[in-house]
Structure 1
Amino acid sequence: MATNHTCRVCLSSLTKKSRLLSSPHLLPHKFASYIGSTSLRSLTSPSRYPTQLDLPTGSTSIAGALAHSDPVVKKTSPAPKNPDPASPGQNPLPALSTARLAQQLRKRASGTTETYVAYGATEQLFKECSRHADYTIPEVLKKGGVAPKNDAGEDVGVGTGWWYESVHLTPTFNTWAQITFIHMYMLTVRFRLFPAAHAPSWHQHLLDHFFHNAEDRMAMYHGMAARSIRNKYLKDLYIQWRGVLAAYDEGLVKGDAVLATAIWRNVFKADQATDVRALAEVVGWMRREIKRLDKASDGEVSGGGWRFVGDPNEARADVMLESQMMKEKV
Structure 2
Amino acid sequence: MLAYVLRRLLHTIPIILVGSFITFVMVSASGDPLGDLLAKQPPVSPAILAAERHRLRLDLPLLEQYWRWLTGIVRGDWGPSVSRIDIGHEIWPRLLVSVRLVVLAVLLALLLSLVIGVISAVKQYSWVDYLFTFAGFLLLSMPAFWLAILLKQQAIDVNQAAGSTLFYTVGDASIPPPVGFWPTVADIAGHIVLPTIVLALTTFAPWSRFVRSSMVEVQQSDYVRLARAKGLPRRTVLIRHALRTALIPLTTVVAMDLAVLFSGAVITETVFQWRGMGSFLLSAVRDKDIYAVMAWLLLVSVIVVLFNLVADLLYAVLDRRIRLG
Greater Rg by CA = 1
* TM-score, normalised via structure 1 length: 0.20
Larger RCO (CA under 8 A, 6+ residues apart): 2
* TM-score, normalised via structure 2 length: 0.20
